[in-house]
C-alpha cells in the first residue's frame, strides 16, 4: 500500500469530522434539512455500491460469486444490527430505543455503536476498491464515501443537540463516526489482496452491506417526517453525482 492510497483511505473516513464542525456552525437544522442530507447520502451510497463494487465484481468474476458475497454482507449487517446494543438519533426502530428515551450519558456511546456498525461496510468498500482496481477504482469510491460522510456525520450528530447533548460533544460523536472506516479499509485491502480468488466475493460483500444500510436505515429515517419528495430529489442528486465522479475519475 503506497502513501497515496493510505491518504485516500484516511481522508475518506475522517471527512465525518467536517460534519462535526458544521454542527457547531449550524446547531439548529430543520428536520427537512436533515432528511435531505440523509437522502443525498443514501443516493451516493447506492450508486457507489452499484458502480464501484457490483459492476467491477461482475467484470472480474461470476454472477454467483457476486450474489453470494452480497448475501453474506447483508446477513452480516443484519446480525450485527440485531445483536449489538445501539440506538438511532432521530427515529424509533421496531424493538429499539430512540435517543430521547436514553439517559444523556449513554446516548453518545449507543449512537456511536450504531454508526460504527453502519460505517464498517464503507471502510470495506474503499479498501476493496483499491485492492481490486488500484487508484482507478479506489479513488472514485474513496471520494464518494468522503463526500457522503460529511452530511452523514452532520445528520447523525445534530439531533443529539435536541436530546440535551452539548454541541461540542455532539460534534465529537459525529467526528468519531468515521474513525472505524480507515482500519476496516486497510484490513480489507491487505486481506483481499493476499487472497485474490475471494476478492470478487469481497466486493459483493461490501455492496450487500452498504445496500442493507441504505434500505434498513437511511431511507426509513429520511422518510419518517413527511419530506419524501425532497428526500427523493436529494437521493437522485447524490446518485447522479456518484455517476459523474465514477465516469470522470474511473
Choose between 89 and 144: higher pLDDT.
Answer: 144
pLDDT, tens digit, for every residue of 169-207? 778 877 777 788 899 899 888 887 667 667 888 889 889
Give the model's pLDDT for residue 113: 65
pLDDT at 100 over 50: no
Choose between 177 and 13: higher pLDDT.
Answer: 13
pLDDT at 82 over 90: no
- Record the pTM: 0.80
pLDDT confidence tier of residue 46, bands split at 50, 70 and 90: very high
pLDDT at 40 over 80: yes
pLDDT at 65 over 80: yes
- Share the mean pLDDT of the chain: 81
Residue 118 has, within 13 A of its CA and on its CB side, a CA count of 26
DSSP, res 93: -
Give the model's pLDDT for residue 226: 84
Lowest-pLDDT choice from 34-38, 92-96, 193-197, 200-204: 92-96
pLDDT at 105 over 90: no
**Long-range CB contacts (within 8 A, 24+) of 184-187:** 184/119, 184/120, 184/122, 184/123, 184/124, 184/127, 185/9, 185/12, 185/13, 185/123, 185/124, 185/126, 185/127, 185/130, 186/1, 186/6, 186/9, 186/127, 187/127
Domain ranges in the chain are 3-21+32-249
Amino acid at each position: 500500500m503506497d502513501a497515496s492510497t493510505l491518504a485516500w483511505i484516511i481522508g475518506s473516513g475522517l471527512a465525518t469530522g467536517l460534519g462535526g464542525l458544521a454542527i457547531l456552525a449550524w446547531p439548529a437544522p430543520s428536520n427537512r434539512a436533515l432528511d435531505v442530507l440523509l437522502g443525498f447520502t443514501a443516493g451516493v451510497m447506492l450508486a457507489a455500491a452499484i458502480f464501484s463494487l457490483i459492476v467491477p465484481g461482475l467484470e472480474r468474476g461470476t454472477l454467483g460469486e457476486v450474489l453470494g458475497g452480497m448475501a453474506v454482507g447483508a446477513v452480516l449487517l443484519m446480525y450485527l444490527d440485531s445483536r449489538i446494543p445501539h440506538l438511532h438519533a432521530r427515529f424509533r426502530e421496531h424493538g429499539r430505543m430512540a435517543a430521547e428515551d436514553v439517559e444523556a450519558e449513554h446516548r453518545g456511546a449507543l449512537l456511536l455503536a450504531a454508526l460504527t456498525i453502519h460505517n464498517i461496510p464503507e471502510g470495506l468498500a474503499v479498501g476493496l476498491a483499491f485492492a481490486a482496481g488500484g487508484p482507478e477504482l479506489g479513488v472514485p469510491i474513496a471520494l464518494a464515501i468522503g463526500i457522503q460522510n460529511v452530511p452523514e456525520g452532520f445528520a447523525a450528530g445534530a439531533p443529539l443537540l435536541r436530546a440535551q447533548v452539548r454541541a461540542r460533544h455532539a460534534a465529537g460523536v459525529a467526528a468519531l463516526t468515521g474513525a472505524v472506516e480507515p482500519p476496516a479499509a486497510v484490513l480489507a485491502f491487505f486481506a483481499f489482496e493476499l487472497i485474490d480468488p475471494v476478492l470478487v466475493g469481497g466486493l459483493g460483500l461490501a455492496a450487500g452491506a452498504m445496500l442493507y444500510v441504505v434500505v434498513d436505515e437511511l431511507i426509513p429515517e429520511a422518510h419518517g417526517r413527511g419530506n419524501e419528495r425532497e428526500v427523493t430529489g436529494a437521493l437522485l442528486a447524490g446518485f447522479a453525482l456518484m455517476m459523474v465522479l465514477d465516469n470522470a475519475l474511473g
